[in-house]
A and B are shown apart, each in its own frame.
Chain A
Amino acid sequence: MFKAIYRIAWKDVAGDLRRRATLSSMLFFAISVLVVFQAAFEPDRKEALRLLPGLLWATTLFTTLVGLGRVFQAEEEDGAFEGLLLASVPRGVIFFGKWLGNLLLTLLVEFLILPLTMVLFNVDAWAHIPAILAILALGTLGLTGLGTLLAAMTRGARSRETLLALLLLPLTAPLLISGVQAVAAILATDGQVAPWLKLLVIFDVVYLAMTPWAFGWLVEE
Chain B
Amino acid sequence: MNILKKIQPLVGLATLIALAIGLWYVYQAPADFQQGGAVRILYIHVPSAKIALLSYLFLTAASILYLWKRYEGADILAEAAASVGAAFTVITLASGSIWGKPMWGTWWAWDARLTSMLVLLILYKGLMVLRHSLDDPVKGARATAILAIIGAVDLPIIHYSVVWWRTLHQPPSLATGENTAVHITGPLLPPLLILSVAFILLGLYMVTVKARQIEARRHLDALEAARMHHDE
Contact = CB atoms under 8 A, between A and B. Distances in A.
Interface of A: 146, 149, 153-154, 156-160, 163, 166-167, 169-171, 173-174, 177-178, 181, 192, 195, 199, 202-203, 206, 210, 214, 217-218
Nearest to A181: B169
A203 B161 CA distance: 10
21 contacts: A154-B130, A156-B134, A156-B135, A157-B134, A159-B133, A166-B125, A166-B126, A166-B129, A167-B130, A169-B122, A170-B122, A170-B126, A170-B158, A171-B151, A174-B157, A177-B164, A178-B164, A195-B164, A199-B161, A217-B67, A218-B146
A181 B165 contact: yes
A210 B150 contact: yes
Nearest to B166: A177
Contacts of A177: 161-162, 164-165
Given A153-B147, A156-B134, A170-B119, 13 more contacts: A153-B130, A153-B146, A157-B130, A163-B129, A169-B122, A171-B154, A173-B161, A174-B157, A177-B164, A199-B161, A210-B150, A214-B150, A218-B146
B147 A199 contact: no
B142 A154 contact: no
Nearest to B119: A170
Interface of B is mostly: helix
Contacts of B164: 177-178, 195, 199
Contacts of A167: 126, 130, 147
Given A166-B129, A210-B153, A218 B161 contact: no
Interface string B124-168: 011001100111000100110011011101100110111011001
Interface of B: 67, 115, 119, 122-123, 125-126, 129-130, 133-135, 139, 142-143, 146-147, 149-151, 153-154, 157-158, 160-162, 164-165, 168-169
Contacts of B157: 174, 199, 202-203, 206
Contacts of B146: 149, 153, 214, 217-218
Contact of A218 (B119, B143, B154, B168): B143
B119 to A, nearest CB: 5
Contacts of B161: 173-174, 177-178, 199
Contact of A214 (B149, B158, B165, B169): B149
Contacts of A166: 122, 125-126, 129
Contacts of A154: 130, 133-134, 143
The 7 A-B residue pairs with the shortest CB-CB distance in the complex, in nearest-first order: A174-B161, A170-B122, A157-B133, A158-B133, A153-B143, A170-B119, A167-B126
A173 B130 CA distance: 19
Contacts of A160: 133
A147 B36 CA distance: 48
A146 B135 CA distance: 23
Contacts of A156: 134-135, 139
A174 B150 contact: no
B158 A173 contact: yes
Nearest to A211: B150
Centre residue among B122, B150, B153 by max chain A CB count within 10 A: B150
Nearest to A221: B138
Nearest to B116: A173
B153 A206 contact: yes
A217 B138 CA distance: 12
Centre residue among A149, A170, A214 by max chain B CB count within 10 A: A170
A163 B122 CA distance: 11
Contacts of B122: 166, 169-170
Centre residue among B129, B143, B153 by max chain A CB count within 10 A: B143
Contacts of A195: 164, 168
A171 B157 CA distance: 9
A4 B164 CA distance: 40
Contacts of A171: 123, 150-151, 154
Nearest to B120: A170
Contacts of A163: 126, 129-130, 133
Given A157-B133, A163-B129, A166-B125, A181 B154 contact: no
